[in-house]
Structure 1
Amino acid sequence: MKRIVVIGGYGGFGAKVCQLLAEDGHNIVVAGRSLVKASAFCAQFSSEAMQPMALDREQIDADRLRSLDVCLLIDASGPFQVQDFHVPKACIQAGIHYLDLSDGRAFVNGISSLNREAKEARTCVVSGASTLPALGTAITDCLARDMDIVKAIR
């Protein structure tokens, strides 16, 4: 199976993502600022599919990502309201797919500025794969099913 790094992998949402991916047979690098917390999280599972790693999102660059030999980086570290785009940019430069759990409107909207670079690098950049955007979109799609035009949502 594929090797995936999850930043914030021992946090609330990141832990669940790691657990589900490991159950599906993927090899997971559980990353975060604390190796102690990452190790404690991984020790809860009998699976060798999870490896702990100290990796602060501020230390990520393309060379570091290439050295991890991963196909995908999932960013569950948040809060995205105060983040910049250096992690998805590093993923693009390293040729690694990127997905985040952002629910920060400005972050999700702004990431489209990386679209051209991502296409040229043949990488996928997905932002906003979190509960609030997902549920909001699902509800909106359901409620607007029989409407021709939606002008505003309040």
Structure 2
Amino acid sequence: MTNQVLVLGGRGRIGSSVAADLAAHTDAEITITGRDSGTGVPVAERMGQQVQFLALDLDDRAALEAAVARSSLVIHCAGPFRYRDTRVLKTCIANGVNYLDVSDDRAFTLQALACKTAAKEAGITAVINSGIFPGISNSMVRQGVEQLDEAEQIHLSYVVAGSGGAGVTVMRTTFLGLKHPFAAWLEGHWQMVKPYSQRETVEFPAPYGRAQVYWFDMPEALTLPEAFPVKTVITKFGSVPDFYNHLTWIVARWFPPVLMKQSQAIEFLAHVSHRMTGLTDRLSGIGVAIRSEVIGQKNGQPARYCSSLVHENTTVAAGCGTGSIAQLLLAHQLQNPGVWPVEQALPTDLFEKLMQDRGITIHHT
């Protein structure tokens, strides 16, 4: 029988990129969802006969249950995940359906990992934090760790040009990430750091070159120390052009905490930022660069393994990261009951093949 894939939030920028990747690399029948048929149906029609649209509100438990029960795989792309609970994952567990998401929030990640035993008992494989960062970035780290005899430090840096091709939801996620200090694994213990602090210059491949990055709360800051016995994990993020970094820093430092807790303020900042990047995208582009550096020991000597990636469209790259894992799940090449972040779920040999199939080149030093 033909696989049935349900992409929740598939009308959005990232969800539709995931659906497009699946349509290109599998013969699955894909259903994308959203609340509004008026905007959702045209998105599905542009993708061809392999994709259809379903109007669905995640708060409608009965409708969600029915949609999940008809599926071979559910891909959760309906963010921001800071506002989400694990009802979709739990519904998949109850119905014995494999699960994949593009979650990028620490609290949601902890909730999802708490479902590991239930997923294992139900015999379903659930992979969380897929996409570009987190997602492809996590696999780049695993690739580096496996090149060394002993890994001691992981340093992940990301830079996005303009909007990255993403919608307002991703802008919301960025500003939500500025609200609170977060725990980072530094020198063997958890330490609190401020978001968008400790500006650092990192050398990325062309066309980005030397770009500025700052501490940012990413779920891989939580999951990578659990996957690999390292002493330090650093996750930093920045924007191009650089004046967006300064604006974000101002929000993180000067906006009153009470104001940042109000949803109206987050919505205002997200929409203003989306309009601004819409104007500058023509000059900056909408691409992404990732740099992963793993420091440790090889043959008894200090060693460093660095890998980097550049893609011209951040949203398309995220679709490739999630779609590639979905492809493996549908082909039963990734079967490991439980709940796993990408770096624990995806073997390096499969990761390298999937990236090659999608024309994504990862450079190594």
Note whether the superposition's TM-score is higher than 0.5: yes
Q: Which has the higher contact order (CA 8 A, sep 6+)?
A: 2
Offset of 1:126 from its aligned partner? 1.4
Does residue 52 (structure 1) correspond to residue 132 (structure 2)? The answer is no
User: In the alignment, which residue of structure 2 is the partner of 1:42?
Assistant: 44
Offset of 1:43 from its aligned partner? 1.7
- Alpha-carbon RMSD: 2.0
Q: Residues of 1 paired with 2:232 and 2:17: CA distance?
A: 34
Map 1:60-99 → 2, pairs under 5 A: 60-61=61-62, 63-65=65-67, 69-99=70-100
Task: Give, as a single letter, the amino acid of the residue that structure 2 aligns with 1:20.
Answer: D
User: In the alignment, which residue of structure 2 is the partner of 1:31?
Assistant: 33
- Structure 1 runs (4+) deviating above 6 angstroms are none
Q: Residues of 2 paired with 1:6 and 1:97: CA distance?
A: 12
Distance 1:87 1:66, change over 3 A: closer
Offset of 1:55 from its aligned partner? 0.8
- Partner SS for 2:134: helix
Q: Are the equivalent residues in 1 in contact too, given 2:45–2:52 (CA < 8 A)?
A: no
Match of 1:153 among 233, 236, 242: 233
Aligned length: 152
Q: Are the equivalent residues in 2 in contact too, given 1:32–1:38 (CA < 8 A)?
A: yes
- Partner SS for 1:125: strand
- Partner SS for 2:148: coil
Q: Residues of 1 paired with 2:10 and 2:84: CA distance?
A: 17
Q: Unaligned stretches of 5+ in structure 2?
A: 153-229, 235-365
TM-score in terms of structure 2 length: 0.39
Q: Which of the two has greater strand per residue?
A: 2
Q: Are the equivalent residues in 1 in contact too, given 2:6–2:67 (CA < 8 A)?
A: no
- Partner SS for 1:58: coil
- Partner SS for 1:153: strand
Q: Residues of 1 paired with 2:83 and 2:14: CA distance?
A: 18
Q: Give % identity.
A: 28
Q: Residues of 2 paired with 1:137 and 1:66: CA distance?
A: 28
Q: Unaligned stretches of 5+ in structure 1?
A: none
